[in-house]
Amino acid sequence: MTAQLIDGNALARQIRADVSGRTAALKARGIQPTLAIVLVGDDPASQVYVKHKVNDSSETGLVANLERYPADMAEADLLARIHALNDDPAVHGILVQLPLPKHMDSHQVIEAISPAKDVDGFHVASAGALMVGQPGFWPCTPHGCMKMLESIGYDLRGKHAVVIGRSNIVGKPMAMMLLAQNATVTICHSATADLGAMTRQADVVVAAVGKVNLLTADMVKPGAVVIDVGMNRNAEGKLCGDVDFAGVKEVAGWITPVPGGVGPMTRAMLLANTLEAAERAAG
């Protein structure tokens, strides 16, 4: 068996095309959907990420305003800037690029963003809305994973999903979204005793730890769907995920590649959330 690829690049293009059409409709009404991206410090990876986000936005007609601040910016000044963006009716979405400098409290900063503009889906109000099925913004990475499952027509009802990774950014929201689709969910982490015993029972495995070759072929149930959220560099310096792709693709039924899988979908869902925020504000 050789797994079928879930092409994140192709699916992201479809989502961007939909965003482009809906953005044009808003602009025809005199409304310019706008995203404010706040970058504090000079983390190299963050600079690459925000560059992609700005480029993606411009392709769809969204405006992404990138605000750069020095690493020694005072937290109080960052909070004041966020409050100003909250009050600006021309700004529909706010994204504070993580990680922040160590002297800042990331949780406090994220909670300062208005839930109506929390297009990254990290605010506690967004998490609460997700849990009770109310309108909110789903975090972009797990939302992208769910869209990938939807794209292959996968019915999660009664299936067993294992999420490896307990973070509030991916692991826990991913588990809640799977549960909302009537799947049985087990959350593990890289140090779970006999992780393979858990994953070999799973119909769906989501790996989101940040560890090269965390999931190997002997840990996967034949025909399972494997979604690789990891973003790492291997010994040769090449981008790779948490999954031993070469081995696992010979066992799984479906698999996401790295690169070209979850990454493009994460960025696409940010655009979709920003457009939705603008549509809600427009009424």
- Gap between the Cα atoms of 281 and 220, Å rounded: 45
pLDDT, residue 1, reads: 67
- Gap between the Cα atoms of 119 and 45, Å rounded: 20
β-pairing, 160-164 with 63-69? Answer: unpaired
Q: Answer yes or no: are the C-beta atoms of 143 and 170 closer than 8 Å.
A: no
Element (H, E) at 81: helix 75-87
What is the three-class DSSP state of 204? strand
Tell me which CATH code domain 30-114 carries: 3.40.50.10860
pLDDT at 19 over 70: yes
Of 45, 27, 91, 100, whose CA–CA distance to 64 is shortest? 91
Mean pLDDT, to the nearest integer, of 68-76? 98
pLDDT, residue 259, reads: 94
Yes or no: is domain 140-263 CATH 3.40.50.720? yes
Write out the residue limits of the CATH 3.40.50.720 domain(s) in the chain. 140-263
pLDDT at 242 over 70: yes
pLDDT, residue 204, reads: 98
Mean pLDDT, to the nearest integer, of 124-132? 78
Q: What is the pLDDT of residues 162-209, one digit of tens each?
A: 999 978 778 989 998 999 899 999 999 988 999 999 999 999 999 999
DSSP 8-state secondary structure symbol assigned to residue 173: H
pLDDT at 30 over 80: yes
Residues marked as catalytic: 53, 97, 120
pLDDT at 133 over 90: no
Residue with tokens 């994460």: 266
The structure's pTM equals 0.93
Helix/strand/coil (H/E/C) assignment for every residue in 209-261: CCCCCCECHHHCCCCCEEEECCCEECCCCCEECCECHHHHCCCCCEECCCCCC
More confident residue, 211 or 136: 211
Q: Quick one: 96 exposed, middle or buried, by C-beta within 10 A (0-12, 13-18, 19+)?
A: buried
pLDDT, residue 168, reads: 76
- Gap between the Cα atoms of 119 and 271, Å rounded: 8
pLDDT, residue 243, reads: 98
Q: Give me the percent of the chain exceeding a pLDDT of 90.
A: 85
Write out the residue limits of the CATH 3.40.50.10860 domain(s) in the chain. 30-114
pLDDT at 134 over 80: no
Q: Give me the percent of the chain exceeding a pLDDT of 70.
A: 99
User: Average pLDDT over the chain, rounded to whole?
Assistant: 94
**Two tokens, residue 153:** 């027509």
pLDDT band for 126, please (50, 70, 90 cuts). Answer: confident
**Two tokens, residue 270:** 């940010």
pLDDT, residue 150, reads: 97
